[in-house]
Chain A
């Protein structure tokens, strides 16, 4: 098997879901390693150094959250949490503990592949120096001159709006929790509140979206955070 194929580690106790994931990922050109328990997952994650890890939160012998935290302390492996609906708190917790993204069961293969690609690209970006100009679709951000343009038209942003958009665009395609946004933009010193994020999000949308109720760029993940829509395809 050629070594350039990315390796995906699946930590999932349900054999059917595992089989579906394995089949789908193999057919799309990924190498797959499988783990069914917390212990095995940790061992393989550290031993095989996979490129992406799919982590189920409900493992028979331990909490997926703690595995994400332990791995993040020693490794930069992108972790995508696989979780059931209605566990928004768990998702936020996992993301704040270092998981890179999440996907809700049940999910289709295109959604899964998109998440994996975003995670892989983001991991690749981390090893390179941060570019001074980032473009997503028709949105262009120049970090040196702090200029933003949409469809070649300049957009005037306040400092906080620019910083907020910067965090989202550097993680394009990945969900960023409200807590992470607050931390990145306002830092520890600000007695910031999640409402701040929503207030700036509203003004950003007014400047960047034609219809704020049908956003094409700044997507809301209710109860979790925001995601900038990537231009993968």
Chain B
């Protein structure tokens, strides 16, 4: 952008400014930001000057009502300029001025913010400056020590032409009502003309012009004024029923009517503009507040994304997408239902990531694109892009919209960052717990495996080198020990393999219609030796149950093994099966001490060993395996102490979930 260095009326050369100020005050630049053409050049020039001196700079926008004659192009430029100021690293101050004297406001601000340099644009002389005097003149009358740079500004050539701004639409309805007012005034005028006189009729017309001005805006007011004058002239001013004017005094009346209309219109427009501004700001505040509430619900990144996108879609009435960066800060090509990015849109998104500024619809870059992408800056790296899709041909986005969208995107970015940090923390905690469990498992396993191995090694060495006084029966005792310990070792290794396979999800229950007595029978025959002479009562219904018989046999073996371990030798064990609702329940109960209260759930946890029980060998995996097997079947496992004493563990299996072709009810 073309912009020459300052044309400095104080005569100091650049670089000597601080010396000229002659103080220890740090240089600080200030530039007023508005929507005038060329202001962006001013902002850039200020930035360069401040950077050259290593000084801070602030942009000031006096956020008053827009001047009477303000176009949408100007509003748009204003919004761009405000954005530019922030992007270039300035502090942006927006405030509503207390007075209409711009110079005084600027001076007050300069004082409170300890500004040393003020940058102004050279204003081209026009009727407004001639009438009101330029800000520069006002400033020079101020008493502050201030270096004022006047930068020649030219309307910038670079920004592409914004989307065509439609002129203020002529509301035909309002126009009709305004004309109706005039007709009504004329009618009433006819009624009262004879009794009151011309002055009162003029007042009637003034009333209707005032009404039009306050209610309807520029065009209806203008037309109402002209029509009033014509009607007044035609109907009431002598010679009546002609447009001929004989009395020159009436021209003054007409001018007054126009003038009053114009002044009131100006006032009304200003009020309307202020109202619009206030309404806009209120809407923005409300939207941000509601977004805040949506974000405050917290949750994971995905959950926030899921809530925010529909919220924005509803609030903005536009298609919206949140594109999130991956861990490496790259924007992945999004895949998902209803989200298809065109090549151009991807390019826009990447441009946003590179520059960190909004790109697309209504900005300086990719203006013609229907989508607008806003950066979502994080504290360490960009989090992603917020994309909005505008209906093509719907015209330009109001500049105030961008003012809302940018903080919206930042707020979402903040929430996402918070959630992502929380997720990282949770993951780290789970990892730590996993590590903890693994180390517990390892120490437990190494203990439980080494103990029987130690016994076996010891017994074997004794057998190989018997002592001089060994009894003749010793070898048999030692061999029995070796056999027992080997079996214990085998059970433990099997359990470890089982739990590993169950946890890795490699095991899937291959359900078939199983004869439950076969499964129970097979489990009992496996434990024949451990059961010895224990009475085992079995009570099973003659039904077919969908299950994986091999897995269920393992579960049963573990349950029976548990019952044997935790009940006195020779006491009875009860195996019972029954159907309850849509579940088949299989229970194994013993006559031991039962479960300590509160441990009914804990016993199914891996490595959990009962507190109130005698220490028994085993890696604490048996019941965890049972739980895994029950879950693999879509079933549950529960434990309790029976009222009559002894622990009871019940596996409940769903009776469904098997294809009908396996139905055993067939005709032989």
Q: Which residues of A contact B (CB under 8 A)?
A: 85-86, 88, 106, 158, 160, 193-196, 198-202, 205, 211-215, 219-223
Q: Contacts A201-B518, A220-B521, A223-B549 given; 5 further ones with Cβ under 8 A?
A: A195-B512, A199-B666, A213-B520, A213-B575, A214-B538
Closest Cβ of chain A: how far from B574's Cβ, in Å?
12
Q: Which residues of B contact A (CB under 8 A)?
A: 486, 490, 494, 497, 512-515, 517-522, 524-525, 538, 540, 542, 549-550, 553, 575, 661-664, 666, 668
Q: Is the CB of A213 within 8 A of B550?
A: no
Contacts of B494 on A, CB cut-off 8 Å? Answer: 85
Bound-state Cα–Cα, A211 to B540, Å: 11
Contacts of B490 on A, CB cut-off 8 Å? Answer: 106
Bound-state Cα–Cα, A139 to B306, Å: 71
Contacts of B661 on A, CB cut-off 8 Å? Answer: 193
Q: Can you list 19 residue pairs at the A/B interface with Cβ under 8 Å?
A: A106-B486, A106-B490, A158-B668, A193-B662, A195-B662, A195-B666, A201-B515, A201-B518, A202-B517, A202-B542, A212-B521, A213-B520, A213-B524, A213-B540, A213-B575, A214-B538, A219-B525, A222-B518, A222-B519
Bound-state Cα–Cα, A221 to B523, Å: 10
Nearest B-chain residue to A215, judged by Cβ: B521
Q: Is the CB of B524 within 8 A of A214?
A: yes
Bound-state Cα–Cα, A199 to B540, Å: 16
* Pick from B512, B519, B521, B540: contact of A194, CB under 8 Å: B512
Q: Is the CB of A222 within 8 A of B553?
A: yes
Bound-state Cα–Cα, A51 to B553, Å: 35
* Pick from A199, A200, A222: contact of B549, CB under 8 Å: A222
Please give me the 9 A-B residue pairs with the lowest Cβ-Cβ distance, nearest first.
A223-B550, A213-B521, A220-B518, A213-B538, A212-B517, A195-B664, A222-B522, A222-B549, A213-B517
Q: Is the CB of A86 within 8 A of B668?
A: no
Q: Tell whether A198 pairs with B517 under 8 Å between CB atoms, given A213-B524, A219-B525.
A: no
Contacts of B663 on A, CB cut-off 8 Å? Answer: 195
Q: Tell whether A198 pairs with B518 under 8 Å between CB atoms, given A88-B550, A193-B662, A222-B549.
A: yes
Q: Is the CB of B517 within 8 A of A222?
A: no
Contacts of B517 on A, CB cut-off 8 Å? Answer: 202, 205, 212-213
Nearest A-chain residue to B483, judged by Cβ: A108
Contacts of B668 on A, CB cut-off 8 Å? Answer: 158, 160, 196, 199-200
Nearest B-chain residue to A88, judged by Cβ: B550
Bound-state Cα–Cα, A220 to B523, Å: 10
Closest Cβ of chain A: how far from B109's Cβ, in Å?
82
Bound-state Cα–Cα, A215 to B514, Å: 16
Closest Cβ of chain A: how far from B584's Cβ, in Å?
16
Bound-state Cα–Cα, A121 to B265, Å: 119
Closest Cβ of chain A: how far from B173's Cβ, in Å?
80
Bound-state Cα–Cα, A160 to B494, Å: 38
Nearest A-chain residue to B539, judged by Cβ: A213
Q: Is the CB of A220 within 8 A of B522?
A: yes
Bound-state Cα–Cα, A222 to B518, Å: 8
Contacts of B538 on A, CB cut-off 8 Å? Answer: 211, 213-214
Bound-state Cα–Cα, A162 to B398, Å: 91
Closest Cβ of chain B: how far from A44's Cβ, in Å?
31
Contacts of A86 on B, CB cut-off 8 Å? Answer: 497
Bound-state Cα–Cα, A202 to B668, Å: 14
Contacts of B525 on A, CB cut-off 8 Å? Answer: 214-215, 219
Closest Cβ of chain A: how far from B297's Cβ, in Å?
47
* Pick from B497, B515, B519, B575: contact of A202, CB under 8 Å: B515
Contacts of A194 on B, CB cut-off 8 Å? Answer: 512
Bound-state Cα–Cα, A160 to B668, Å: 9
Contacts of A205 on B, CB cut-off 8 Å? Answer: 517
